[in-house]
Every structure is written in C-alpha cells, then in structure tokens.
Structure 1
C-alpha cells in the first residue's frame, strides 16, 4: 500500500499530480488497456474526502437527469460539499459555477472516483475504481416506473454479457436506489441484482419534482418556451422514442406531416413536433429530416424542461410516458416495430395495460388522435394511478439528500 503523507504539498493531491504528468507521456491506447487498471488499483488506497461528491449522467452525456437535481439540492442545503461531474464534452451542457467538470476518461476522473465520499449515477455502467466500504453509492436509475420493457435480469439472455457483468457488479455495490412507483420497486427487487443491504428509496425521482411543482406554473412555462426557442402560440408535440439495441431506424418512421395536419384540424392552431432521441442513440438524430415544423430536440440540455414546455407526447416503449402521465398531458403510443422489438428486447404484460391510446401503424395513430377525448384520458389515468401508485410528490430531491446526509454521518 502506498504511504500517504499529510504534510503540506504532499498526500493524495501530489500522488494524483505525479500520475497525471506520467500518463501524458503515454499513448492513449496503451493507457486504456495497460495503465488505467494499474492506476485504478493504486488510487484505491487514497483517502476519501468527506465533502467530495462524484456525479455522472448517462456515462458522461452532460448535466441532467436525477443527478442534476440532487446536486442542486445538496448545494442548496450545504455549499461546503465539492461537487464533481464526469463528462465527455462539457461544452454541450451549461454547468453551475459550483460544479467542477472532469473528463470522464481522464486520470483525474479515476482520482475523483477514488477520493469521493459519495457516488451518484443514473445507469448501470463500468466502475473503473473499486468502491471502498467508507464510500456511499446512490443509483438513481433514469427510467420511470411504468414497468414496460424487459431490463436487467428480465432480459439477461438478450443483453450483452459485458453489460450484464457490469450491472451485477453495480447491484452488489449499491447502497441505495431511487424508486418512483410500486412497479419500479418490484422491478428492482426482482431484476436488479441488488445486494441484501441495498435500500430501495420510495421517494420518487428528483427530476420529476420539477414537473410536479411546475406543471401549472405559467411563468415557468413561458420561460422554458423562450429558452428553447418554442413559440408561445404553437402546440408542441414531443416525439421521444426509446433506443433499439441494433440501432434500427424502422420504428422512427412516423408520418410527421400527417400528424401535424390532423392535430392542426382538431385544435385549430399551429402544431409543431420536437424530436428527441434517447441519449444512447443521440448520434442517430442526423439521419432524420427536419424543417420549420419538425425540430431536432435531441441535444436540448434537459428533457424535463422540454417535457414541461411541450403539450403532448408520442412515444413507443419509453418510460418518458410516465412523466407526461404525471402531468396529465396527452400521450399516444405508436409502436411501428412492435413484433420485432418484442423478439429482440421483450416487453412485460404491463405495456399492454396502460391508459394510453395504443397503436401500431401511422394510420391507427392518426385515427387515435382524431378520436382522442381528454376527459376520458384523465379518467383512465386516474384509474391507473390507483392500481399503480407513483411515489412522486414533488419532494424527492429533498428526501434523497436527507438520506445521503444521514448515511454519510453513519459511514
């Protein structure tokens, strides 16, 4: 074990600095394959800083999702915490001044992971530095609690073996995981390979606090419309499909022009569509065609803000439907590749038991839009909530941070 001195100018900061200068002289491929594992093992022995927190969103995609709202709540309650964010390209997101960005593939990222008291993540991914007993790991799983898709152990035979190994390890080191509803709680118990001491925190999702607390706030609505360049008088449809494991584009072939025409006739107002692909396949957005009425929103920084700013959702198998359900906004399901998706990924019976209009063709979707009745939709939504309670009450971030602080005091 390396000896760590407490003298000024030495210690863990000096050890990190020395490794950083050494790595700069080594080819990146050699570093990733040979040196990174060694550096990770050595950094494991560095002392943990009690006021340091390491956050990550979709493996470096930027500032967003549950980690964003938890970090903001932590800073609000105790600004003495050092908040670090692992990111691929910090220029693609706006970060508060109090958050320190770190390249996710850098030596510094390993150092921050090794010395942070708290890890906050929202997907199951690689943990290049071994977690210490004194560190706290909070998994804030990004998907909402509809329980539609087969994931983790429910889809183990269809998932990449490398991912399964990472997910199982993630479950074994998890101290707490956030659940937003009864179905999600059951999913975690059944399929997430959690260790017996992991706490399932029935707080709701911190990112949904923003929706619950602002759904009727006309001022916030107007501010968001301006922020994203959305016109006040236009009815905006958010099209947010999930990803395909094989990166197929077949499921995305909606008749956008016909959808716009149908809604325009029904509502007697201008209609536009904002397309937002899943972060896992954001690169595929370049393959879709856009114009003044069909907008590429894939790289807008915060999907919660975008959801609040839009009036309606069209999706296929994505849990974002739960966010719109929470706000009582219309949701239309159009699964153009249903049979193929079921064969390749799999769906649970819950998918076919939802309050949303379910369609499998463009023609069915158009007919569903024409027949849509908001009162009937809300009635079905309320019935669904009674059978499948959600835990979102607008205070998830607050409860989560209270749990973090309490656990930190114990460790």
Structure 2
C-alpha cells in the first residue's frame, strides 16, 4: 500500500475511534444544565477545570467528569464520572451545553451549534514553544487534531497579554480570548494555611516543616540522570539562610512518573509525584526549583521564590524544544551546576527578586486577580439557565 494512502487510512481510523463522526447522537436533545469536563485526557480532578468546577458545585448543574480508570476516586460529591473514551462519554458530550477542557480534545463527537466549548489550556504563560510555533516537531496526527479542535473552540481563558497573543497567533484559534486570569492560580490569592496543613498531614511531617518543591520537566528520551540527585547541600543552605526544617517535595512530570519509583528518598526527600494537586504543593512551598517547567510562572504569580537548575541547558535547546524566553533573561536565578545552585540560595536577594518579578509581570501583561474561577463559573451559570 502507498505510504500516503496508508497514513490517510490510519488517520481516518483514528478519527472514527475518537468520535469525530459520531453524528448518531444528534437526535438527542441538548441538556442546558449539563457540563462535561476533562483534564489532561482523563487524569481526574485537577488543574483549571478543578478550580472552575469547585465554584459550580451545589448549583444544580449536572457536572460530568470524563476519567481514566481509577481517577474517579479524586472527584468530589456532586460530580458524575464517566469513563474517558467510552461510548457513554460521547453521548454525554453530544448532549451537554458546555464542554470544559484544559488540553486539545483527543476524543469528542461533532460539536453542535448551540453548544459552548471553553478551553482553559494549562498555564498563565508558556516557556516551551507550542502549536504552530512548534509544528515541525509535533506529530502530524496531533497537528490535524489541534486544527480541528481550534475550529470547535468558542473561548480560551488567558492569564496574560502574552497568552492573549499566543492563542490568537499560534493556536489556529478564531474564537474569543477571555483575559480573566488562570483559575488554578486563584489559590495563590487565598490564605493557604489549610493547604499547608493538608500537605504536612499527607506526608506525615511536622506541622512547622518548610517545603521546597523540586519539579523538573521530562526529556523525550526519559533520561533522569540530569535531575538533581543529592539535596543535602540545598537543604543545609536553606536552613542556614532561612532557618527551620526543610523538606524536599520531589515531583516528576506525568510523562516520566514511572521513574519516581527508582529515586532514593529519605526522611527529608519526599515522593510527591503522585500527590493529586500540583498547585497545592506550590501553595505549601516557599521555593520551587525547576528547569524548563512552566510551573515557574505559577510560582511567580504567588510571588514566591523560584530557582532554575538546568545542567543540560545547551543540549536541551538543541534536542528538545525551542523556548519563548531566554532563561537568562527571566527573573529567576539560573544555575547549571549544583554548586551554583547552593550559591544562589545563599546569596538570594529578596528585594531585587521581587522587583524583577514585578517588571516581568508588567512587561507581559499579567491578568491574575484571584477571581478567574468565579468569573468563568458565573458565565457558565448564565449559559446554562
């Protein structure tokens, strides 16, 4: 069989399997009070959709969450779960007034004219180049799905002027950008004492423990040797600089979560990869150490300390993904060796750091006010009346 024909048939089969031609549900009426939600392709109660749904509970809405097997245990009371990728999921989507998602839809029926699709995406800024800006590095099947998804989408939520432009210019998106902030980041504008207590109880640490989250991103080859391995000097530097007892919350990217079992943990280094909510880890932490994860921008919104540890910077830029920002121009101290990282902790200047954060936020038009979840939830309530 000719290669192009073979590829076309494979894509057609994929589209059929993912519900692209599931018109048989169009004879069913749309239920105005139904909201169907998915986060990270069925991973469960998380990210921006979680923050929005928390505002919609007890409002008399039929909220359906599409979940992979086992993730239903993460859902709160008042949310129905349906298996992601099932025929029942197609039926729920086809009869819902509102679709709510934080990733490109991989699985959905044709959208009907009176339905509303809200795409929250999953970050207030982007570090790695995405969508049209990374088209040459993306699988053909993903690009086709992304373009099709963009045509369905009515609204995208944006946390910054940077994302306003990115969604319009890069996402093949012709709907309306809502510059209201990032729902998952509303937590940073609230009193987080209860979250800190929840994290300490989960990891069975003393109530006064201070946390540093280490959250490196993944490499496409799954290599973990570039990750920070020994945290002794980092902990000692933090305790000397700030006092208290410091614990490391080690959080691997979901794409390489299976590597977490091979890491040598201890009393002060805790396996946080399976913790259900990354935002809670950030809210409970005083410092984030990462390399190329956009979680750095979430922590910036919280106006907490971020330090970058990127020992493979040159090879990452060459072999992985181009970046929108030069790491050296970001407000976060950058280290390429563990010795430099320890020095950055010892010499950290809080006043200068805050000034650089505010300059970056002003330069790229940050929209965050801590009200994004409530604002979009109120709009959903109006649409579902």
Taking structure 2 as the reference length, what is the TM-score of the superposition? 0.89
2:184 corresponds to which residue? Answer: 207
- What is the distance in 2 between the residues matched to 1:309 and 1:85? 27
3-state SS of the aligned residue for 1:251? coil
Residue 176 of structure 1: CA displacement?
Answer: 0.3
* CA distance in structure 2 between the aligned counterparts of 1:251 and 1:45, rounded to whole angstroms: 54
The offset of 1:303, in angstroms, is: 1.4
Cα distance in structure 2, aligned partners of 1:47 and 1:324: 43
| 1:295-335 alpha-carbon deviations (Å, 9 max, x no partner) | 11111111111211111100111111122112221110111
Aligned CA distance change for structure 1 residues 247 and 383 (closer, same or farther; 3 Å): same
CA deviation profile, 1:272-307 (whole Å, cap 9, x unmatched): 110112233323322322222111111111111121
- Which residue of the other structure, out of 153, 156, 160, is the alignment partner of 1:174? 153
* CA–CA distance in structure 1, aligned partners of residues 129 and 324 of structure 2: 6
Q: Which residue of 2 aligns with 1:139?
A: 119
Equivalent position of 1:5 in the other structure: none
The alpha-carbon deviation at position 360 of structure 1 amounts to: 1.8
CA contact (8 A) 2:203 2:270 kept: no
Does the CA contact (< 8 Å) of 1:282 and 1:298 recur in 2?
yes
C-alpha change, 1:194 and 1:237, in structure 2 (3 Å) is same
Cα separation, 2, equivalents of 1:250 and 1:130: 44
Over aligned residues, Cα RMSD in angstroms? Answer: 2.4
| 1:107-118 correspondence runs (5 A) | 107-118=87-98
Match of 2:136 among 150, 157, 166: 157
After TM superposition, which residue ranges in structure 1, 4 or more long, deviate above 4 angstroms? Answer: 31-39, 406-409
Question: 1:357-396 to 2 correspondence within 5 Å?
Answer: 357-396=333-372
- Among 33, 36, 48, the alignment partner of 1:54 is 36
* Deviation of 1:90 (Å): 3.7
Q: Deviations over 1:124-172 (max 9, x none)?
A: 1313311111211100101221x32111111111112221122111211
* Paired positions, count: 372
State yes or no: 1:340 paired with 2:315. yes
TM-score, normalisation: structure 1: 0.84
Q: Distance in 2 between matches of 1:52 and 1:273?
A: 41
* Secondary structure of 1:183's aligned partner: helix
For residues 259 and 179 of structure 1, do their structure 2 counterparts lie closer, same or farther at Cα, with a shift above 3 Å needed? Answer: same
Assess if the C-alpha contact under 8 Å between 2:18 and 2:107 holds in 1: no
Q: State the partner residue of 2:109.
A: 129
How far residue 367 of structure 1 moved from its aligned partner, in angstroms, is 1.7
Equivalence for 2:45? 63
1:86 is matched with 66
Q: Confirm or deny: 8 A CA contact 1:242 1:317 kept in the other structure.
A: yes
Per-residue CA deviations over 1:360-405 (Å, capped at 9, x if unaligned) read 2222212211211222211221222222231110110121123334
Q: Shift of residue 223 of structure 1?
A: 4.5
* Counterpart for residue 19 of structure 1: none
1:226 corresponds, among 192, 195, 201, to: 201
Q: CA deviation at 1:262?
A: 2.4
1:95-122 CA-partner distances (Å, limit 9, x unpaired): 2210001111322112111111111000
Work out whether residues 122 and 140 of structure 1, in 8 Å CA contact, stay in contact via their aligned partners in 2. yes
Match of 1:43 among 4, 14, 25: 25
What is the 5 A alignment of 1:205-284?
Answer: 205-214=182-191, 217-284=192-259
For 1:191, the equivalent position in structure 2 comes to: 170
Which deviates more from structure 2 when the two are superposed, residues 248-257 or residues 328-337? 248-257
Taking the aligned partners of 1:43 and 1:284, their CA distance within structure 2 comes to 42
Q: CA offset at residue 35 of structure 1?
A: 7.1
